[in-house]
Structure 1
Amino acid sequence: MDREVEDLLRELAPQVLGTLVRRYGVFDACEDAVQEALLAAALQWPAEGLPDNPRGWLVTVASRKLVDQVRSEQARRRREDRIALATPQAALLSHAADVEPGTDRDDSLALLFLCCHPALSEPSRIALTLRAVGGLTTAQIAAAFLVPEATMAQRISRAKQAVKASGAPLRMPEAADHAKRLGAVLHVLYLIFNEGYTTTDGADLTAPTLSGEAIRLTRLLHRLLPDDGEVAGLLALMLLTDARRPARTGDEGSLVPLAEQDRGRWERRLIIEGIDLISRTLPRGEVGPYQLQAAIAAIHDEAEHVDATDWPQILALYELLELLAPNPMVTLNRAVAVAMVHGPAAGLDLVSTLESDRRMARHHRLLATRAHLLEMLGELDAAADAYREAARRTASAPERRHLTSRGARLASRRN
């Protein structure tokens, strides 16, 4: 598919779906109809050229696809009653015949909130967001998460059924529930980005489709909520982190840690945009966890070389982050900053406090951090053992190779 057409379809997908769901309800049937319309556009537009009103074209075609579903004998038993509850069938048919989508509002934000409904599990929220708002196909989502397409199709189907069962309309949450629901949306986008930046398992270190989609959706959210500090903070964090992607892998996809990366390969355009965004956001009002993480990322990205990193400032930000959003992974990151400011022994003392945390005690990142600090301390035997144990516990092949290599290198030094 032509790249321009692909980008346009992904931009329009949530707008078209939002229009249909607002008009007709029945999220699952509308989503199926929109996917068919997107497929039709992907086949026709590159050959015939873009229509004068691409969004209107998609709304019209999707509405007609929905009508076809209602008219079909098989679909009538599953969908006709549900659609009738949302709008009389006659009105549905007349809408499909004469659609004026140019006057419709953009329901993308409400659609994001609907896909992150509390009735859904976290994996379901992620899958449904990527499908309904991101415009990714089931096959693309399945490939990104390294699961069979049939498995992902079932997950998406269950998510759509859960939305239907909840009876939730397509509208923004009430004011009292807005902050909580927005937090869920941000968390889903954060998880999508993290999975794309460092995959949890598989042969590749990154899944650019996921991290790129997370950035695109967060840009959309920032456009819709330009005054929300945490939305801006999350976008800045993604930009500043993704800027390092070109330097994160070496030959044959090997992992290159931050301290060893060629900073000349970092994407300066993303760094400049991210720093500008977080610099404008921080002074505006209440500071949240995503803004603090973005500020930490900005300090790393501003350092011309690893020795120029302002570790005392990073440590201060991690201490504040731990107060605002206590989390064992934040504590683990703070331990590294403590080690850089006060020495590796102090960092190891903090790491040891996490050993009683059931979420972290056997996590490969805790073991890898302990190994790194032991190496800094000169305890090479213990560091080599910790690297090897960390390698055994990660499901990511690039991380496993990197940790195994570090352990082997230390073992060779002591012989």
Structure 2
Amino acid sequence: MPPFDSLLRDLIPQVVGSLVRRYGWFDACEDAAQDALLDATVQWRRDGVPDNPLGWLTTVAYRRLADRARSDIARRRREETVASLDSTRSSAAPGPDEPLRADRDDSLILLFLCCHPSLSPSSQLALTLRACGGLTTAQIARAFLVPETTMAQRISRAKQRIKAAGGRFELPPAAERTERLGVVLHVLYLIYNEGYASTVGPDLQHVELTREAIRLTRAVRRVLPEDPQVTGLLALMLLTDARRAARTDPDGNLIPLAEQDRGRWDSGAIEEGVALTTEALVRDPLGPYQLQAAIAALHAEAPRSEDTDWRQIVILYRLLEQVAPNPMVTLNHAIAVAMADGPDRGLALLSSLDEDTRLAGHHRLLAVRGHLLEMTGDHAAAHACYEEASRRTASLPERRYLESRAARVGGAGN
């Protein structure tokens, strides 16, 4: 990774925001910013980072935008736009040595636009990673294991849908802002989760995605430092990501939380995450990210797996089910109950999910049931659950792990 890679990722949303605010064409401005990013990757590697990298990127992106407009001479509207761009060249584009005003960082507005309610969740993810994360279409396609042409079409359709829906480059009205911020945070949460535990493919983790999710969440927190959910989400990401190095063995095989070498956890990320969790928990309203961060902090602060305060985690999951009920919360609640009060109690709670169409038959439900059955000593039933779960997951590391658990309990039952 070039030494200036993180700098480019931080600056690209500001470049896109600056252009979109001035000219309004989200699709063309985002493409121009991507062109500038590629130019910078080549030129900065050769010549070094300029004194004013943001001004350099904005100037190059402006010129690319003007070139794109000029090239479409068949359309009168674009011809008029070129004339307009030419007439405002001196005031519109900052020179390489002209700093942009700090109060014109439009990263949050750009995130709101990329998470426009007219888009599907998959389109929101892709567009956020490209426009706000600075990832190329090829990088995003690799992360989600789809052809580059498919991802390019998805991103292009997302831009057109925003345009058709009348999406404007401005913060939503105050009445909508809380709901739309919730969508933004959920998209960042999904990006992080896909990077931390990839749902498909040969790799357990896509570090590029987790890194971008954390970086973008930090950017949101810079704009909204008092929001407890933003702070809670950043804390949750840091506390979870602290375990990354210990989650796999040298062959890439998954190591469950209870068996991880806690000496390999990132103490710096844990310290920051715990501090952010404490800060978030004293602010209202109490929401799902604060509670999940509190659970992650209890895991992070336990010196050994057997020192984990499972009873406190059970209480937090009960609160989480009240604040944000969903089957995955109940699934994790059942694990906590099993650890605190015994596997039979956990299995009883797990049975409530059998009729939930959102999770019934999901490989994680089967895997957890197998784990709790193994704890009871019912190895035959555990073996059947592990085997079925391994057939249903699309993640190769998870499949190998579940197959190994099935083999272990199968041998124990013979």
Superposed pair shares fold, TM > 0.5: yes
Q: Is contact 2:94–2:100 with CA below 8 Å preserved after alignment?
A: no
User: Which residue is 1:209 aligned to?
Assistant: 208
Mapping 1:336-415, distance limit 5 Å: 336-415=335-414
The question of 1:245 aligning with 2:231 is answered: no
User: How far off its partner does 1:302 sit?
Assistant: 0.5
For residues 101-141 of structure 1, give each alpha carbon's deviation from its aligned partner in whole angstroms, at most 9, with x where no partner exists.
52361111100100000011101100000000000111111
Distance 2:349 2:243 in 1: 28
Q: Which moved more, 1:16-25 or 1:63-72?
A: 63-72
**Structure 2 residue aligned with 1:189:** 188
Counterpart of 1:409, as a letter, is R
What code does the residue aligned with 2:272 have? E
- Residue number in structure 2 paired with 1:102: 100
Aligned residue in 2 for 1:311: 310
2:242·2:269 contact (CA, 8 Å) conserved in 1? yes
Structure 2 counterpart of 1:38, which letter?
Answer: L
Give the corresponding residue for 1:49.
48
Q: Which amino acid letter does the alignment assign opposite residue 102 of structure 1?
A: L
User: Structure 2 CA distance, aligned partners of 1:27 and 1:81?
Assistant: 18
CA distance in 2, matches of 1:42, 1:27: 22
What stretches of structure 1 of length at least 5 have no aligned partner? none
Give the deviation of 1:390 after TM superposition: 0.7
**1:111-126 matches, cutoff 5 A:** 111-126=110-125
User: Could you say which residue in structure 1 is the equivalent of 2:18?
Assistant: 19
Residue 138 of structure 2: aligned partner: 139
Report Cα offsets for 1:172-226 as digits up to 9, x if no partner. 1111000000000000000000000000010111111101110111111111110
| TM-score, normalised relative to structure 2 | 0.96
Q: Which amino acid aligns with 1:2?
A: P
> What does residue 173 of structure 2 align with?
174
2:78 pairs, out of 55, 80, 95, with 80
Secondary structure at 1:284 match in 2 = coil
Q: Is the contact made by 1:345 and 1:377 (CA closer than 8 Å) also made in structure 2?
A: yes
Correspondence for 2:322: 323
Q: Distance in 2 between matches of 1:73 and 1:160?
A: 19
- Opposite residue 150 of structure 2, the aligned amino acid is T
CA 1:88/1:359 → structure 2, altered by over 3 Å: closer, same or farther?
Answer: same
Structure 2 unmatched ranges of 5 or more:
none
Deviation at 1:81, TM superposition (A): 7.3
Offset at residue 161 of structure 1 (A): 1.0
How much is the aligned-residue C-alpha RMSD, in angstroms? 1.7
Q: CA deviation at 1:2?
A: 2.7
> In 2, Cα distance between the equivalents of 1:77 and 1:400?
54
Report the secondary structure of 1:251's partner residue: coil
1:356 partner letter: E
3-state SS, counterpart of residue 102 of structure 1 = coil
Whether the 8 Å CA contact 1:67–1:96 is kept in 2: the answer is no
In the alignment, what sits opposite 2:263?
Answer: 264
Structure 1 residues 65-76: aligned runs within 5 Å:
65-73=64-72
Pick closer, same or farther for the CA change 1:102–1:353 going to 2, 3 Å: same
Contact 1:25 1:83 in 2 (8 A): no
Counterpart in 2 of 1:199? 198
Deviation at 1:361, TM superposition (A): 1.0
Counterpart of 2:78 in structure 1: which amino acid? Answer: E
Answer yes or no: is the 8 Å Cα contact 2:192–2:237 preserved in 1. yes
Alpha-carbon distance in 2 for matches of 1:360, 1:209:
28
Q: CA deviation at 1:341?
A: 1.7
Instruction: Indicate if the aligned counterparts of 2:188 and 2:213 stay in contact, CA closer than 8 A.
Output: yes
- Distance in 2, matches of 1:319 and 1:343, equals 17
| Superposition deviation, residue 90 in structure 1 | 4.5
Residue aligning to 1:130:
129
* Whole-angstrom distance in 2 between the partners of 1:376 and 1:17: 53
1:249 Cα deviation after fit: 0.4
Identity of aligned residues (%): 62
DSSP 3-state at the match of 2:134: coil
Match of 2:58 in 1: 59
Match of 1:335 in 2: 334
Using the TM superposition, name which of 203-212 and 102-111 deviates more. 102-111
Q: Relative to 1, partners in 2 of residues 1:312 and 1:214: Cα closer, same or farther, differing over 3 Å?
A: same
Aligned counterparts of 2:257 and 2:301: Cα–Cα separation in 1: 13
Q: Is the 8 A contact 2:288 2:324 kept in 1?
A: yes
Q: Render the CA deviation track for 1:351-370: whole Å, top value 9, x for unaligned.
A: 11100011111000000010
* Greater alpha carbon shift after TM alignment, 98-107 vs 319-328: 98-107
Other-structure match for 1:151: 150
Query: Deviation of residue 79 (structure 1)?
Result: 6.7
Q: CA deviation at 1:164?
A: 1.6
Cα displacement (A) at 1:167: 2.0
> Is the partner of 2:122 in helix, strand or coil?
helix
Q: Which amino acid aligns with 1:163?
A: I
For the 8 Å contact 1:24–1:92, the answer to whether it is kept is no
Report the AA paired with residue 330 of structure 1: V
Instruction: From the superposition, tell whether residues 172 and 91 of structure 1 become closer, same or farther in structure 2 (CA, over 3 Å).
Output: farther
Return the alpha-carbon distance in structure 2 between the equivalents of residues 50 and 302 of structure 1.
40
Q: Is the 8 A contact 1:196 1:207 kept in 2?
A: yes
Amino acid at match of 2:149: A
- Name 1:232's counterpart in structure 2: 231
Aligned AA (1:214): A
Structure 1 length-normalised TM: 0.95
Once residues 160 and 112 of structure 1 are traced to their aligned partners in structure 2, the CA distance between those partners, rounded to angstroms, is 13
Partner of 1:274: 273
For 1:277-333, what per-residue CA distance to the aligned partner results, in whole angstroms no more than 9, with x for missing partners? Answer: 111221132211000000000000100111100001000000000000010000011
